[in-house]
Structure 1
Amino acid sequence: MKNTAREDYRIVITPRRLGDLGWMSISDRMASSDIERDTRERCEEMAEQVKRHVDNVGSVEVQFTEVHTCSHCSLAWEELTAEEAAEPGCRQDEHSVEGEPVCCDKAIDEFRTERGIPAVQWGGTQ
């Protein structure tokens, strides 16, 4: 018979959105000119308050998830894998390589220019 034991307990505290003022809500973009910085500062402040004012705390740390986005189109950053670069249906042309971005034409053009790879002939012109 399988027994189940619980261990490694933790409490997760989530900060309130920057634009959530309690009595009203506005977009975070209206509340801050640098959402990432201000959210990080809010979390660090909350962590310090927990350390100072809550008993039986073993440790407090601010954790986050990194999200990589394209500087041209702001979509999630994705790259061709080696398998995709070898698959005709996944690549732009015969010059596509592993690591080439897939989000937008500008990112692909920049990637190829930096590496000396022939440019994609967009629009079918050659």
Structure 2
Amino acid sequence: MKKSAKINGRATITPPVSPYWTTADYAHETDVLRTEVWPAVQKFLAENWPGFSAAFTADDIVLCTLCWSEFEALTADEAADLSTRTDEHSIEGEPTCCRAALDEFRTERGIPAAQRGGAR
């Protein structure tokens, strides 16, 4: 008989982010994670939880050029759901990370501006 078990967890360590950084700055922070932070994490695991293993991966993320947060947008399901969309003009791909990105997105597509003072 098969028995499923969840055995994989993920710890995320995020370095600081600055809106003024270049690609080289982000590469430097990733290198610091790989060469300094990651070895410290491995040592901590070995000393405190023998037998645990971990792996280092660096994910690509897309940053909003207006708020410098991770870019987020509505899915098709979210755009159709009254509880998650901005208003009746919301469409798939509409930014949700900041109002400035939403305004820019709608202006570029000729979609009426979102009303101010709502849930967002």
TM-score using structure 2 length: 0.53
Q: For residues 28 and 69 of structure 1, what CA distance do their matches in structure 2 show? A: 10
Q: Quickly say closer, same or farther: Cα 1:123–1:66, change in 2 above 3 A.
A: same
Say whether residues 1:111 and 2:105 are aligned partners: yes
Structure 1 residue 67 and structure 2 residue 96: aligned? no
Corresponding residue pairs, total? 80
Q: Deviations over 1:86-121 (max 9, x none)?
A: 001101100000000111110100000011111011
Deviation per CA, 1:4-58: give whole Å up to 9, x if none. Answer: xxxxxxxxxxxxx9xxxxxxxxx998xx974135468x79xxxxxxxxxxxxxxx
- Match of residue 116 from structure 2: 122
CA distance in 2 between counterparts of 1:89 and 1:39 reads: 37
AA aligned opposite 2:72 = E
Letter in 2 for 1:65: D
Letter in 2 for 1:78: E
Runs of at least 4 residues off by over 2 Å = 36-40
Alignment correspondent of 1:24 = none
Whichever residue aligns with residue 111 of structure 2, its letter is I
Uncovered stretches (5+) of structure 1, i.e. residues with no partner: 1-16, 18-26, 44-62
Bigger Cα Rg: 1
Counterpart AA for 1:82: A
Q: Does 2:73 align with 1:83?
A: no
Residue in structure 2 matched with residue 53 of structure 1 by the alignment: none
Unaligned runs of 5+ in 2: 1-14, 33-56
**TM-score, normalised by the number of residues in structure 1:** 0.50
Identity %: 45
**Distance across 2 between alignment mates of 1:89 and 1:28:** 31
RMSD over equivalenced CA pairs, Å: 3.4
Provide closer, same or farther for how the CA distance between residues 117 and 64 of structure 1 changes in structure 2, counting only shifts above 3 A. Answer: same
Q: Considering Cα pairs closer than 8 Å and 6+ residues apart, tell me whether 1 or 2 has the greater RCO.
A: 2
d(CA) in 1 for partners of 2:17 and 2:61? Answer: 18
Instruction: Please state if 1:98 is matched with 2:119.
Output: no
